[in-house]
A and B are shown apart, each in its own frame.
Chain A
Amino acid sequence: MARQKVNVDWALVTGALVLSFYGIAIVYSAGQTDIPIAGYIRNAWKQQLVWFMLGIIGAYAMSRASIRMLEWLAVPLYAFTTALLVLLIFIGKGAGTAASVKSWLVIGGFRLGQPSEIAKLTVVLMLGKILAGSKDPPKSFVELWKPALVVGIPWILIMAQPDLGTGIVFVGIFFAMLFWSGISWRLLLLLASPVVSLILTVSTQLWGAWFLLLLALVIWYKPYLWEGVFLVAANVVMGVLAPILWERLEPYQQNRLRVFLDPSVDPRRSGYHVIQSQVAIGSGGWFGKGYTMGTQKRLAFLPEQHTDFIFSVLGEELGFLGVVVALTLFLTLFLRIIRIAERANDSFSSLVAFGLLASWFVHVVVNVSMTLNLMPITGIPLPFFSYGGSFMLASWLAVGVLVRIAHEGRGGKHGPFAI
């Protein structure tokens, strides 16, 4: 690696730093309770701080690595993480509330981390490489087989753990990067149609309406005949499959979905989390109950306060003001990354930047929505906030990559959301 000065995108780095400190402060608060809790939760903030520092080092290293090297490494890294995910099927371990989810790599009793966090990065790299490799964006379903395969393999392996939340992130990355590659929005819509079908099966009427709309779209878009047939068939199959898939879900996952539709169906158990989270946030008011003073958290009404529901702690203790500050910081970060992607030097860098953005974006939107019951509980962490070493490290590695992309990209020209 040639020693050269890297032009650091300070807006990006500062945003990520502030978010990390903000997050560690909330993780510290999550450990402050009136009742005895596990020591690791009480000391989680120290762990988080260590991982954060490792992340800074990792980010620095990544910023020194040429994008070309990353592009070159994409295939072996992808193969490696896929292999790890395959391995997890056999030796994966659960943790905490998700004890039945085989997402942890444990060797000799030592928890190495969750490979799916690294997989988010490598899939972004691999997908970027594939999409950047072709001159034009995919124009038909046939041309989508490679990107679909790149995301599909790890996606299936992760869904097999089963980790629904991370699965959703992969879907988000897939669609976002296709969008960024310039794929026609109609194709994107048709591609998304089976997913929409799956979601709409909760109501036969909704699904029926969607299906008619889809038929109209297919006629208008005029794909190849067999593509059209495939698409319609996929939607029908989804509609039919949904109940079968439903049966295959773990009972706790089924409950989460049921509770999403109506938290009061089971206020003591599955609905409990989301009700208590809403109470915590709602009782925060404008300025919150004061840092570390949240009663919902202190008295253990709020579950998973250091991981999935960390944002509820923030909402309870720092109020609407704290929430707005956090969300604004995230938005700043997103807009900055969009600018980096826009000005990237080459299509691979640009796609990677946008893919990393998509990953965070899905995390933030899904996690934060979940605390208000705007989305079902999927156990997806909040970047820079939720306690978790691999995720902190992976997030900072991504920051490093983005710094590098910004460094190699064009300066000067302002995008629509210049920060």
Chain B
Amino acid sequence: MSFHPNDVARRARAAGWISVGLVAFLIAAFFRTQILRNTQYVLQSEENRLREVPIAAPRGMIYDRKGKIIAENVVGYTVSVLAQSEDSLRGTLRRLSGTIQLSQTQQDQAVRRYRRAPTRPTVILNDASFDVVSVLEEHRVDFPSLIIMSAPKRFYPDGPAVLPFVGYVNEISESELSLPQYATYKAGQIIGKQGLEKEYEAVLHGREGSRFVEVDARGRVVREQGAQEKRPVQAGSLQTNIDLDLQLFTAQLFADSLVGGAVAMDPNNGEVLALYSNPSYDPNKFIGGVSFAYYDSLRTNPKQPLYNKALQGTYPPGSTWKLATAVLGIQEGLVKPETHMPQACNGFYYFGNRAWHCWEKSGHGSLDLTGAIAKSCDVYFYQLGLKLGLSRLVAGGVQLGFANKAGIDLPEERKPSYPDRMEYFDEKYGARSWSGGAMVMNLSIGQGENSQSVLNMARFYTALATDGSAAKPEIVHRRAERTRIMNLTPDQLEALRQAMAGVTQAGGTAASAALGGGVTLAGKTGTAQKYGNASGRVCDHAWFVGFAPVEKPKIVVAVMLECGGHGYLAARVASAIIGKYLGVPTMLNIQTEG
């Protein structure tokens, strides 16, 4: 042991410097962590303790043309959980399922939502009933990471009656999340799935707000932080052209027995007054997730309520299309309203080694164009079609808009099928394996390679009802967009309208659908043959497209009844709709047949 004072002093100095050096080093290390990297750690500490809880924005209201509510928001409840990990989420779900009803599907869905957006509260129930919320509030202490919030919930007061155009909203799906237009959306958010809700998603969505809750290390909510709340912004409302009374009336007309679609438009500006498909279903049942049982009942219903018969369904237009043949004939200078065809109708017409029947087996005799329209004489239009020839029918049909969508502001509209050019036939049947004559015969009476939506037929008749310009159908109020599609003089158009007025007059095909009150309904019936793949002719679709008053049409209505039988049945429905809109009495009650 060397304890000479000098040695000790030297060692003490060394020990002192080592102490000072190490403490200085530690202070420097703290300086780096606490001062230089302070911002980073403050952020991390805030991220630790604060969880952002999004507050859903109420969707924009949807009104009809008179300001009546089509879609609104009511108070609903969402139940979410702040999960630390997938395991802890599964644990919470398992314990929750002991307290409230929580199906395996709902649990799996919650886990998927968590995987998509682990930092957001994971939505467990999108639309919890008040009862469920009460039960959960009672057990609050058992589920400290649960967040129960009142959230605006979409409600359609008239449910099924407005569904065909308004659509519905629901949680954004996995596949939608990966689409570019939903890039800013997050799992668990609500988006428009169909109809106006989908078409005007950007308008109706609103801006999500948020608040912060303070959580502990295990994700349990310790307290709510009110101060930093960012309020959600409700979106602007949507003013539609729909006449809600007319829409409801239309839905009532279809009731339980009629299957089909109807569209009512103002021919002068394209405003859609009503758009309905029957049977419909209740969009309110889709809010917060549709039940499997309900969806399955819709899916398996043979009347296909999920299929919009006014927009998605395309059907052979039948005799309602004869006006197109007539317009093309007049345009080409082949006929005038008073022109008779070479062969009078005696019930059939011979062409290409076979007899082509007129629907009236006893024949119509010799008719001019006006009479042929009123009585819907097939033999007349066979001959007019043959005069036009296939290429002019095809080009003319395209010109009249039968190969394109009507362009309504709804995502569901299906493109009609019509030969858009001559090569169409070669491509479909192979060169020289089709008969142009037979094509002409079928097309001229609205059968064959022609399948139109109810909406597109309504659009075509807006041109007939006005100056030959078709109006683009618009659900939401916008500037009228009209395109001249037929090159007819006002007199020629007037003559055609008078011919159509004959349809609802004595001797016409829809005489029983005439309006009262001195208002004349003009239109055209159609009885289109539906063919099954193997079974041949299945049934007849009943069509009517018309407008009133004939002198200055204010409304065009197209009605199609699937397997509805003769066109006059559709005419009665259309007549009732028009009568309701114009406020005039209609002739008859609607008879429905089984």
Whether the Cβ atoms of B33 and A281 lie closer than 8 Å is: yes
The answer to the question of A34 belonging to the interface, with a C-beta cut-off of 8 Å to chain B, is yes
The answer to the question of A62 belonging to the interface, with a C-beta cut-off of 8 Å to chain B, is no
Given contacts A137-B1, A361-B19, contact A285 B217 (CB under 8 A): no
By secondary structure, the B interface counts as helix
Q: Provide the residues of chain B in CB contact with A350, threshold 8 Å.
A: 3, 8
Whether the Cβ atoms of A285 and B27 lie closer than 8 Å is: no
A320 to B223, CA, bound (A): 28
A179 to B34, CA, bound (A): 35
Whether the Cβ atoms of A300 and B217 lie closer than 8 Å is: yes
The answer to the question of A279 belonging to the interface, with a C-beta cut-off of 8 Å to chain B, is yes
Measured CB to CB, the nearest residue on chain A to B4 is A182
Whether the Cβ atoms of A281 and B34 lie closer than 8 Å is: yes
Measured CB to CB, the nearest residue on chain B to A128 is B1
CB distance from A411 to the nearest CB of B (A): 14
The answer to the question of A283 belonging to the interface, with a C-beta cut-off of 8 Å to chain B, is yes
Q: Provide the residues of chain A in CB contact with B507, threshold 8 Å.
A: none
The answer to the question of A363 belonging to the interface, with a C-beta cut-off of 8 Å to chain B, is no
Measured CB to CB, the nearest residue on chain A to B20 is A331
The answer to the question of B218 belonging to the interface, with a C-beta cut-off of 8 Å to chain A, is yes
Interface stretch among A224-232, A256-264, A365-373? A365-373
CB distance from B84 to the nearest CB of A (A): 9
Whether the Cβ atoms of B22 and A365 lie closer than 8 Å is: yes
A280 to B44, CA, bound (A): 9
The answer to the question of B220 belonging to the interface, with a C-beta cut-off of 8 Å to chain A, is yes
Question: Of residues A181, A282, A300, A328, which shows the largest number of chain B Cβ atoms within 10 Å of its Cβ?
Answer: A282
Residues 469-506 of B at the A interface (beta carbon under 8 Å): none
Given contacts A131-B1, A319-B34, A320-B35, contact A301 B26 (CB under 8 A): no
Measured CB to CB, the nearest residue on chain B to A321 is B34
Residues 305-332 of A at the B interface (beta carbon under 8 Å): 315, 319-320, 323-324, 327-328, 330-331
A342 to B3, CA, bound (A): 9
B15: contacting residue among A182, A331, A338, A365, CB under 8 A:
A338
Whether the Cβ atoms of B29 and A283 lie closer than 8 Å is: no
Q: Provide the residues of chain A in CB contact with B2, threshold 8 Å.
A: 136-137, 181-182
A369 to B27, CA, bound (A): 10
Whether the Cβ atoms of B30 and A281 lie closer than 8 Å is: yes
Given contacts A182-B7, A299-B49, A319-B34, contact A34 B222 (CB under 8 A): yes
Given contacts A365-B26, A369-B26, contact A295 B49 (CB under 8 A): yes
CB distance from A307 to the nearest CB of B (A): 17
CB distance from B228 to the nearest CB of A (A): 15
Whether the Cβ atoms of A179 and B214 lie closer than 8 Å is: no
Q: Provide the residues of chain A in CB contact with B34, threshold 8 Å.
A: 281-282, 284-286, 315, 319-320, 323
Q: Provide the residues of chain B in CB contact with A347, threshold 8 Å.
A: 1, 3
Given contacts A338-B16, A361-B19, contact A323 B3 (CB under 8 A): no
Measured CB to CB, the nearest residue on chain A to B222 is A34
A282 to B26, CA, bound (A): 14
Question: Of residues B20, B22, B26, B49, which shows the largest number of chain A Cβ atoms within 10 Å of its Cβ?
Answer: B26
The answer to the question of B129 belonging to the interface, with a C-beta cut-off of 8 Å to chain A, is no
Q: Provide the residues of chain A in CB contact with B3, threshold 8 Å.
A: 182, 347, 350
Question: Of residues B1, B38, B45, B222, which shows the largest number of chain A Cβ atoms within 10 Å of its Cβ?
Answer: B1
Whether the Cβ atoms of A330 and B23 lie closer than 8 Å is: yes
Whether the Cβ atoms of A300 and B26 lie closer than 8 Å is: no
Q: Provide the residues of chain A in CB contact with B22, threshold 8 Å.
A: 361, 365
A295 to B13, CA, bound (A): 42
Q: Provide the residues of chain B in CB contact with A276, threshold 8 Å.
A: 48
A181 to B15, CA, bound (A): 13
Q: Provide the residues of chain A in CB contact with B15, threshold 8 Å.
A: 179-180, 338, 354, 357
- Contact string against A for B residues 5-44, beta-carbon threshold 8 Å, 1 for contact and 0 otherwise: 0011101110110011011001101110111011011101
Q: Provide the residues of chain A in CB contact with B216, threshold 8 Å.
A: 34-35, 299-301
Question: Of residues B3, B35, B223, which shows the largest number of chain A Cβ atoms within 10 Å of its Cβ?
Answer: B3
Question: Of residues A283, A319, A341, which shows the largest number of chain B Cβ atoms within 10 Å of its Cβ?
Answer: A283
Whether the Cβ atoms of A299 and B217 lie closer than 8 Å is: yes
The answer to the question of B328 belonging to the interface, with a C-beta cut-off of 8 Å to chain A, is no
Whether the Cβ atoms of A282 and B42 lie closer than 8 Å is: yes
The answer to the question of B379 belonging to the interface, with a C-beta cut-off of 8 Å to chain A, is no
Whether the Cβ atoms of B41 and A300 lie closer than 8 Å is: no
A315 to B26, CA, bound (A): 12
B12: contacting residue among A136, A374, A416, CB under 8 A:
A416
A278: contacting residue among B1, B33, B214, CB under 8 A:
B33
A105 to B160, CA, bound (A): 77
Q: Provide the residues of chain B in CB contact with A286, threshold 8 Å.
A: 34-35
CB distance from A184 to the nearest CB of B (A): 10
Q: Provide the residues of chain A in CB contact with B12, threshold 8 Å.
A: 338-339, 341-342, 415-417
Measured CB to CB, the nearest residue on chain B to A354 is B15
Measured CB to CB, the nearest residue on chain B to A33 is B216
Whether the Cβ atoms of B8 and A279 lie closer than 8 Å is: no
Measured CB to CB, the nearest residue on chain B to A272 is B217
Whether the Cβ atoms of B41 and A416 lie closer than 8 Å is: no
CB distance from B119 to the nearest CB of A (A): 15
Given contacts A286-B35, A320-B35, A350-B8, contact A279 B1 (CB under 8 A): no
Whether the Cβ atoms of B222 and A338 lie closer than 8 Å is: no
Whether the Cβ atoms of B38 and A282 lie closer than 8 Å is: yes
Q: Provide the residues of chain A in CB contact with B40, threshold 8 Å.
A: 282
CB distance from A382 to the nearest CB of B (A): 12
The answer to the question of A132 belonging to the interface, with a C-beta cut-off of 8 Å to chain B, is yes
A295 to B46, CA, bound (A): 9
B48: contacting residue among A279, A323, A351, CB under 8 A:
A279
A285 to B214, CA, bound (A): 21
Q: Provide the residues of chain B in CB contact with A374, threshold 8 Å.
A: 26, 29
Whether the Cβ atoms of A136 and B42 lie closer than 8 Å is: no
Measured CB to CB, the nearest residue on chain B to A331 is B23
Given contacts A135-B1, A282-B37, A282-B38, contact A296 B31 (CB under 8 A): no
Whether the Cβ atoms of A281 and B1 lie closer than 8 Å is: no
CB distance from B87 to the nearest CB of A (A): 11
A299 to B220, CA, bound (A): 9
Q: Provide the residues of chain B in CB contact with A133, threshold 8 Å.
A: 1
CB distance from B16 to the nearest CB of A (A): 4
A319 to B2, CA, bound (A): 44
Measured CB to CB, the nearest residue on chain A to B84 is A268
The answer to the question of B374 belonging to the interface, with a C-beta cut-off of 8 Å to chain A, is no
Whether the Cβ atoms of B26 and A299 lie closer than 8 Å is: no
Q: Provide the residues of chain A in CB contact with B9, threshold 8 Å.
A: 342, 415-416
Residues 179-224 of A at the B interface (beta carbon under 8 Å): 179-182
A113 to B31, CA, bound (A): 36
CB distance from A100 to the nearest CB of B (A): 23
A179: contacting residue among B11, B23, B30, B49, CB under 8 A:
B11
Q: Provide the residues of chain B in CB contact with A324, threshold 8 Å.
A: 27, 30
Given contacts A335-B16, A365-B22, contact A301 B42 (CB under 8 A): no
Whether the Cβ atoms of A300 and B218 lie closer than 8 Å is: yes
The answer to the question of B57 belonging to the interface, with a C-beta cut-off of 8 Å to chain A, is no
CB distance from B220 to the nearest CB of A (A): 7
The answer to the question of A170 belonging to the interface, with a C-beta cut-off of 8 Å to chain B, is no
The answer to the question of A134 belonging to the interface, with a C-beta cut-off of 8 Å to chain B, is yes
A354 to B34, CA, bound (A): 32
Measured CB to CB, the nearest residue on chain A to B220 is A35
The answer to the question of A334 belonging to the interface, with a C-beta cut-off of 8 Å to chain B, is yes
Whether the Cβ atoms of A296 and B45 lie closer than 8 Å is: yes
Q: Provide the residues of chain A in CB contact with B85, threshold 8 Å.
A: 268
Told that A282-B41, A327-B27 touch, could you supply 19 new A-B pairs with CB distance under 8 A? A131-B1, A132-B1, A279-B44, A282-B40, A282-B44, A285-B34, A285-B35, A285-B42, A327-B23, A327-B26, A328-B23, A338-B16, A338-B19, A350-B8, A357-B15, A361-B19, A372-B30, A374-B29, A417-B20
Residue contacts A-B, CB under 8 angstroms, 22 given: A179-B11, A179-B15, A182-B2, A182-B3, A278-B41, A282-B34, A282-B41, A295-B45, A299-B216, A300-B216, A300-B217, A301-B45, A301-B216, A331-B23, A350-B3, A361-B19, A365-B22, A368-B26, A372-B30, A374-B26, A416-B16, A417-B20
Ranked 9 nearest A-B pairs via Cβ: A282-B41, A182-B2, A283-B45, A300-B217, A299-B216, A342-B12, A417-B16, A320-B34, A416-B13
